[in-house]
């Protein structure tokens, strides 16, 4: 395998890994930490749609669909398209985060400008817009072929379309740059994104990572909050550096927002291990919005990666 092919395999792995974590974690959502004796399976407890991803993957797919249509995800037109896709999806989707649905439901005009405006209003009104809903969908932005500072700006823009809290944006920046580093090198490093978060936040986020390295994912139980979700996922990735399945199962055993923590962890674990190394038994049954299979998900991710490669 050439280095170029290895890089592409790891890029596609980040999207497949996200979907695997999402679908595998979904049957365990809203439950306490999962015991070591409990098997992790897509049809746990007779789950009605084994292998179906949820909003985590759906929102990431929407990013890639807007990207494909416009040849970028940086323009006003592409981001307006993204908000329009999200809004249409949310009208019938059974699983949409409360914060995301609140913002999207207020939009009489489906545009990035208005989405950001209402996300900001919600933040001003509540001071609580640091949910994990932007971190869960951020993985495709690791494909961006731009100067690093501009990538961080785009990641922030996409995060703030629904989650205006700075913690959400900073978590997304650190995660996207970690995925990019994994795609390029096959190695785990959480530091490449640190130059692009404010100086007064660097120590805080390093402390979060240190805490993640010293505790299992289940330690971070408030994982609907972006910081705890980030820490639980980071802990799972550290555990699964050498084994994708062990890392994903650790994320799910954290309990509570299991699909999201596992999706976040899966995006980075997938980039570390590459698509070819992901368990076929988990890849084959994958499916979901917009009524596509795992093979079609790979096609979409490949098309977006190719758009950026040719720039």
Q: Which CATH code for domain 3-309?
A: 1.10.4080.10
- Alpha-carbon distance 105 to 285, whole Å? 32
Mean per-residue pLDDT, 16-30 = 98
Interior/surface letters 232-271, b for 16+ CB within 10 angstroms, e for the rest: bbbbbbbbbeeebbebbbbbbbbbbbbbbbbbbbbbbbbb
Q: Does the structure show a pLDDT above 50 at 1?
A: no
Domain ranges in the chain are 3-309
The pLDDT, as a whole number, for residue 3 is 47
> pLDDT tens digit string along 262-298?
999 999 999 999 999 999 999 999 999 999 999 999 9
Q: Which residue has the tokens 């996300």?
A: 119
**Nearest of 91, 89, 114, 88 to residue 103 by alpha carbon:** 114
103's CB contacts (< 8 A; 6+ apart) are 115, 118, 119, 122, 161, 162
- Quick one: tokens of 276? 């070819």
The pLDDT, as a whole number, for residue 5 is 61
The pLDDT, as a whole number, for residue 244 is 98
**Nearest of 85, 137, 139, 140 to residue 111 by alpha carbon:** 85
> pLDDT tens digit string along 42-71?
999 999 999 999 999 999 999 999 999 999
Mean per-residue pLDDT, 123-134 = 95
Please list the helix, strand and coil fractions of the chain in percent, rounded to the nearest 5, in that order: 65, 0, 30
> pLDDT tens digit string along 145-181?
999 999 999 999 999 999 999 999 999 999 999 999 9
The pLDDT, as a whole number, for residue 311 is 87
Give the E-state strand segments of the chain in sequence order: 287-288, 292-293
Element containing residue 40 per DSSP (H, E):
none
Percent of the chain with pLDDT over 70: 98
> pLDDT tens digit string along 203-259?
999 999 999 999 999 999 999 999 999 999 999 999 999 999 999 999 999 999 999
310's CB contacts (< 8 A; 6+ apart) are none
- Quick one: tokens of 3? 């280095």
Q: What is the CA radius of gyration of the chain?
A: 17
**pTM exceeding 0.95:** yes
């Amino acid at each position: 395998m050439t280095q170029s092919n290895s890089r592409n395999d790891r890029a596609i792995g980040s999207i497949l890994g996200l979907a695997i974590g999402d679908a595998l974690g979904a049957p365990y959502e809203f439950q306490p930490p999962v015991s070591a004796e409990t098997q992790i399976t897509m049809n746990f407890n007779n789950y009605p749609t084994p292998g179906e991803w949820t909003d985590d993957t759906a929102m990431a797919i929407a990013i890639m669909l807007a990207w494909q249509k416009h040849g970028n995800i940086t323009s006003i037109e592409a981001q307006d398209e993204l908000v329009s896709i999200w809004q249409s999806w949310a009208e019938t989707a059974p699983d949409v985060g409360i914060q995301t649905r609140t913002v999207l439901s207020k939009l009489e005009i489906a545009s990035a400008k208005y989405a950001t405006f209402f996300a900001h209003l919600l933040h001003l009104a509540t001071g609580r817009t640091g949910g994990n809903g932007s971190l869960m969908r951020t993985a495709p932005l690791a494909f961006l072929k731009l100067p690093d500072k501009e990538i961080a700006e785009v990641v922030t823009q996409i995060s703030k379309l629904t989650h205006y809290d700075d913690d959400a944006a900073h978590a997304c920046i650190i995660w996207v740059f970690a995925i990019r580093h994994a795609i390029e090198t096959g190695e785990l490093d959480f530091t490449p994104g640190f130059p692009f978060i404010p100086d007064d936040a660097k120590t805080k986020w390093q402390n979060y990572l240190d805490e993640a390295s010293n505790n299992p994912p289940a330690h971070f139980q408030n994982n609907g909050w972006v910081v705890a979700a980030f820490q639980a996922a980071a802990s799972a990735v550290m555990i699964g550096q050498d084994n994708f399945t062990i890392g994903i199962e650790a994320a799910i055993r954290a309990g509570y927002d299991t699909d999201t923590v596992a999706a976040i962890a899966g995006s980075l674990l997938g980039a570390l291990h590459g698509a070819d190394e992901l368990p076929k038994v988990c890849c084959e049954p994958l499916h979901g919005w917009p009524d596509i299979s795992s093979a079609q998900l790979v096609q979409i991710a490949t098309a977006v990666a190719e758009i950026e490669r040719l720039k």
